[in-house]
Amino acid sequence: MNKQRIYVAGHNGMVGSSIIRQLKHNKSSQIITRSRDMLDLTNQNQVRDFFQLERPDQVYLAAARVGGIYANDTFPAEFIYENLMIEANVIHEAWRAGVKKLLFLGSSCIYPKLADQPMQESALLTGLLESTNEPYAIAKISGIKLCESYNRQYGNSDGIDYRSVMPTNLYGPGDNYHPINSHVIPALIRKFHEAKLKKLPSVVIWGSGLARREFLFVDDMAKACIVVMNDISGQYEKCTDSMASHLNVGSGEEFTIKELSVAISKCIGYTGNINFDKAKPDGAPRKLMDSSKMFSMGWRPEIGLAEGLEIAYKNFCETISD
């Protein structure tokens, strides 16, 4: 029996590497990857040549330019340009090469800043976005609409089925622990770790500490991706329609940044004071997603925050010791 050829775009990233770990459990799959120095996904000619050569059966589009509040606010042109180019090139060239199944990974930042909580998929395009990451959010919205547009035009004629999932804030092995350009959990892990080593009496966190966030361990997200990609029960179709095809993927739990900071300091063993700089931005006041449609497909997260932080911190320590 021929193995199913599966291309994971962004395989060195946190989500992509987790998807590969999950796919390796299936011995009937042949995983295809390319490092960034071998394939520039913003270059259409390179992407076209790759797809014409490899012709995968499935594509997981996990490649993206990502970062936290500081990075999004400092490099808006790079965030919107690179993400738009990656999405357009991969989706279009996948279709040209006859790829039938593709899964696009977006972000919870696609929803309006003041969307009703928990945020339902129907909240998309109903209000203004959070200004600090609007360019990135616009790119991710475009990725959803690219999938929907290709389905509408070529779904019946070419038999394609391109789907989208919107993860909440992810963390875990393979995360980016850069002190400035990372997301909140890896940034705080590094901050508290360094404060412990230096025996600092206090740590200062951006914002008021009152903003609320939802978090999901990356391996739970990867499992959700595989469920959505391979669902043949018809449940995905019941949960979506041609103009609203994305699914939220979250834990259903939320924590204030203050609660998160305390949990991370406890995990690391930092015993100093935690202070908040209210002059710095909080971002959206609350971001909790309604993942009931995803839950209806039989998926549930398995790793809670405390356990996930322990695994993430161990990975961070291994990363900095390499």
Kindly give, in sequence order, each residue whose CB lies less than 8 Å from that of residue 128, ignoring residues fewer than 6 positions away: 112, 113, 114
Q: How many helices (H) and strands (E) does the chain have?
A: 11, 12
Catalytic residue among 70, 111, 136, 177: 136
Category of 172 on φ-ψ map: left (φ > 0), alpha (ψ -120 to 50) or beta:
left
Distance CA 149, CA 143 (A): 10
Alpha helices (H) along the chain: 14-23, 44-54, 69-74, 76-96, 134-158, 184-198, 218-230, 235-239, 257-268, 292-295, 305-321
Active site residue 111: no
Distance from chain centroid for Cα 118: 18
Q: What is the largest CA-CA distance in the chain?
A: 65
Kindly give, in sequence order, each residue whose CB lies less than 8 Å from that of residue 260, ignoring residues fewer than 6 positions away: 184, 185, 188, 213, 215, 305
Taking Cα atoms as reference points, which of 149, 115, 144 lies closest to residue 288?
115
Q: Which residue has the tokens 């398995």?
A: 302
Q: Active-site positions?
A: 136
